[in-house]
Amino acid sequence: MTAHRSPDAPYYYISHALPVPSDPWLREFHTDVQTEMRRRLGPGPGHSGLLSEPCRGHAAEGPDWTPAMRCRTLLVLLTERYYKEPGTVRDLEVFRRRLLWGQHQTGERSPALVLVPWNTKGLPPRKEPDTLSVPVGDYTRSGLGGLVGAPHARGGYLKVLRAVVERILTGARHSPPVMTPEDLYFTASPGVSGMPRSPLSGRKFLDRQFAPVRVPWQPTHAAPPSRPAEAWWEAAPHRSWFSTPESDERPILRGPHS
């Protein structure tokens, strides 16, 4: 992985599992996001995003390549089908690997992954930590897809839209290192020869978090705490509250008359 970014890399990449031709609101949402981006950043070519299209291939880059390797921010539209499609699961896992690599190098967690519920039907009840949460009624109940074309929910849709764009801009400022198809197979320990290579798996997510800090070694079984030797006066079977200093027992309490 490298921190150098290609000039043709998309500013953000929308990953989804929606049927593009039959979903009329997906392209409208992408257009609205791009319009809001240009309103804030200007019409520069480096601020353009990319919408995932299943029919579009990447033969020039190779079968392992995906825009999630180079985009600044990954915008995921969550649906029940998203976690079942190999291509979308690959986008999410590739970008999460970039996030882990960046966190390993800097010690800071990047906010460049933006998860937006497009349709909450069939989604797991436990939300992922990167899910966009905006207090808009229909958005939290059914997802963003029901707000795009609803005239009565225009105000709520614009509120979510601006929150999405704000997350994209924040994530782009903390974008993780870019990735190449060769990075899909990385050496677990580069300094040790003969170490196995870890392939990219589409059936599991890399959800572990790493930071560049050294953890001190700790034994598996904790040693019992050492107890100091018991003092002879504490071990005495009989103790007097008002014993004199000349006696065999040290007094615990002596009054002002002593």
Residue 213 has pLDDT above 80, yes or no: no
- What percent of the chain shows pLDDT beyond 90? 40
Q: Residue 210 domain-assigned?
A: no
Q: Residue 248 domain-assigned?
A: no
Higher-confidence residue of 108 and 187: namely 108
* Count of domains for the chain: 1
Q: Residue 92 domain-assigned?
A: yes
For 221-228, what is the mean pLDDT? Answer: 55
Neighbours of 154 (CB within 10 A): 12
Distance of CA 2 to the CA centre of its chain: 20
pTM tops 0.85: no
Q: Residue 222 domain-assigned?
A: no
Q: Residue 176 domain-assigned?
A: yes
Q: What is the pLDDT of residues 137-168, one digit of tens each?
A: 888 888 999 899 888 888 999 999 999 999 99
In terms of C-beta density within 10 A (0-12 exposed, 13-18 middle, 19 or more buried), how is residue 209 classed?
A: exposed
pLDDT computed for residue 127 by the predictor: 81
Q: Which domain holds residue 193?
A: 12-198
Q: Residue 159 domain-assigned?
A: yes
Q: What is the pLDDT of residues 77-108, one digit of tens each?
A: 999 999 999 999 999 999 999 999 999 888 89
Q: Residue 223 domain-assigned?
A: no
- Mean pLDDT score across all residues of the chain: 75
Q: Residue 220 domain-assigned?
A: no
| Among 172, 114, 173, 170, CA closest to 144 | 114
| Among 98, 63, 71, CA closest to 177 | 98
Whole-number Å distance between alpha carbons of 134 and 129:
14
For residue 238, which amino acid is it? H
